[in-house]
Structure 1
Amino acid sequence: MSTETESQFEIDGVKLYAKTWTPTGPIKAKLVFVHGYSEHINRYNDFFSRLASRGIQVFGWDQRGWGRSASKPSDWGLTGPTTQVVADVAAFVKDKLGPGDAPLFVMGHSMGGGEVCTLMGDEAYQDLVSQVRGWILECPFIGFSPDSEPSSIKVVLGRLVGRLLPRQQMKNVIPEEYLSRDPAVVQSVKDDPLCHNTGTLEGLSSLLDRTAALASGTVKVGKHVRSIFLAHGSEDKACSYDAAMRWVEQQTSVEDKFSKSYEGAYHQLHADLCKDEFMNDLVEYILKRSGSGGEAPVEAKL
């Protein structure tokens, strides 16, 4: 059982929609969640409630330009540049840290996974990153899948126009059928008015730049990153499975890291046919490292 609490999280005077899922029993660990492109945290209600029932308190917010943080259609996709996106994630994570509290984990899905990787590799946030017990990447956007990669002409033109018209909106549709093998999930995305597939040229260009940096291998994380768990569907049609696996393998400074492939799974592991397996793996990873899984906490060697 769990309770749900809605709130507002303010960053630089901007109020963003936030929500917390809290266990009715002891809090064994805390999890900050960073959502993906064209979605919002209330799509995770069932998933987060199940995590809370296992003793994990979950914190999430609708990022700038998405969900209930975009009060009108003209706000859709107004994420700002990468510096703003990463600063927002860092501010939310910092807000959830506390002395003597349960250990904090950070999880990012898809676009949010790429943002989390970017934060981990940013030297300006080393102290904050070192305070996070573990980082979970669910199908992170580190490269395009063959089914979703845009043409080079479209990318170049988009970046050029984006410098002149950064707030210009543009549809970038990810087919709902790419997200899950569950027809009910696919239909729910189609019916969700907050899944609007609308970005801005600035936001989309920044997203492409972050992804290119990650895919090139130039974003490396140091020993201050205590642990990484990468989970990826082998048949993900939205984000590159190979690029994500390659990126994690390149993080040689992190000793406590592992990855798992979910055979046949698509992009949203938490809402795919493998959701129970993924849930159990995630809970085991978190509780083992928080000392709440019947074993002593796993300590990364720094």
Structure 2
Amino acid sequence: MTDSHTAGNTYIKFFDALSTHGIEVYAFDQRGWGRSVTKTAERGLTGKTDRVLDDMTSFIKSVLPSPIPLFLIGHSMGGGQVLYYAARGPSEIRKHIRGYLLISPFVDFSPASKPWKATVIGGRLLGKLFPRRQMMSGLNVDFVSRDPEVQKAIKEDELCHDTGTLEGLAAMLDRTLELSTGRIKIPADAGEGGVTRIWIAHGSEDGLTNFAASKRFAETCVAGSDKEFKAYDGHYHRLHDEPEPYRNQFLTDVVDWILARSGELGQEDGGQSKL
């Protein structure tokens, strides 16, 4: 499984837990985040959407050909990127992807975090005029997880910075606009064997990304029969970092979905839409 992460997030415990179920995880720090940053001036230099998709393609190519089924997972900003990739990524790469998993994907802002329309318009304009200008996003950790230890860890992790650039912001806003308005459609043949297999998970109390927008996208913008929208009642943004026992239940759901689709093509256990 390969991962596309969000801004300032960590997945070590989640990925370690997946590995105990025989699921190998390959991940990279996107430009401007994590250890890809060697100096403060590089923070948030994600680039335009074309660069983001090219970086994803280069990383996926690094694990191809794969002797085992390959899945692509994305959370939040990374979830929006994976949805975009499933729709518009190169077909010669998508044909190797057995399934797509989206965790709290950034299809739209949550009402609790939605900026003013003028702010969005201004952000797009400034991104074109001053692309490398940095800005602080001011992440509210209270929206991330109900676990106070997770909130504390975010505040103390130097790699979990909240610095973006105007260019990266503008690109993210453009992708979000296309996703939230239905301009992005995922075809029925976006995966291995000419079949799209997609699982979208979202917490109903997510204060950062929009639960209803994710559900609507799953219902109206994903073609094919093997799709599922999994609602987690009362859960926050990081489903993989919620308190126990919710964290382990989410892990079980992810593992079950992947393993059900990891057999020989045409012999998987999945296949029915669950919306």
Q: Retained in 2: the 8 A contact 1:129–1:224?
A: no
Secondary structure in 1 matching 2:219? helix
Q: How does 1:1-302 map to 2 (within 5 A)?
A: 31-39=1-9, 43-98=10-65, 101-122=67-88, 125-225=90-190, 226-273=196-243, 274-291=246-263, 296-298=267-269
Contact 1:37/1:197 (<8 A) preserved: yes
1:255 is displaced (CA, Å) by 1.1
Cα-to-partner distance string for 1:59-92 (whole Å, 9 max, x where unaligned): 0000000000011110000011010011111221
Pairwise CA RMSD: 1.5
Question: In the TM superposition, what is the alpha-carbon distance from 1:33 to its structure 2 partner?
Answer: 1.0
Q: In the aligned structure 2, how far is the partner of 1:202 from the partner of 1:222?
A: 29
1:139, 1:241 within 8 Å by CA — same for their partners in 2?
A: yes
Gap runs ≥5 in structure 2 = 191-195
> Is the CA contact 1:170–1:199 (under 8 Å) kept in the aligned structure 2?
yes
Q: How many aligned residue pairs are there?
A: 263
Return the alpha-carbon distance in structure 2 between the equivalents of residues 211 and 157 of structure 1.
Answer: 15
With over 3 angstroms needed to count, the CA separation of the structure-2 counterparts of 1:183 and 1:299, relative to structure 1, is: closer
* Contact preservation (8 Å) 1:233, 1:267: yes
Cα distance in 1, alignment partners of residues 23 and 48 from structure 2: 32
CA deviation string 1:25-66 (max 9, x = no partner)? xxxxxx101110223xxx211111110110000000000000
Q: Percent identity?
A: 41
Give the structure with the larger strand fraction.
Answer: 1
Q: Please give the TM-score of this superposition, normalised by the length of structure 2.
A: 0.92
Query: Match for 1:262: what amino acid?
Result: Y
Q: Does the 8 Å contact 2:6/2:76 carry over to 1?
A: yes
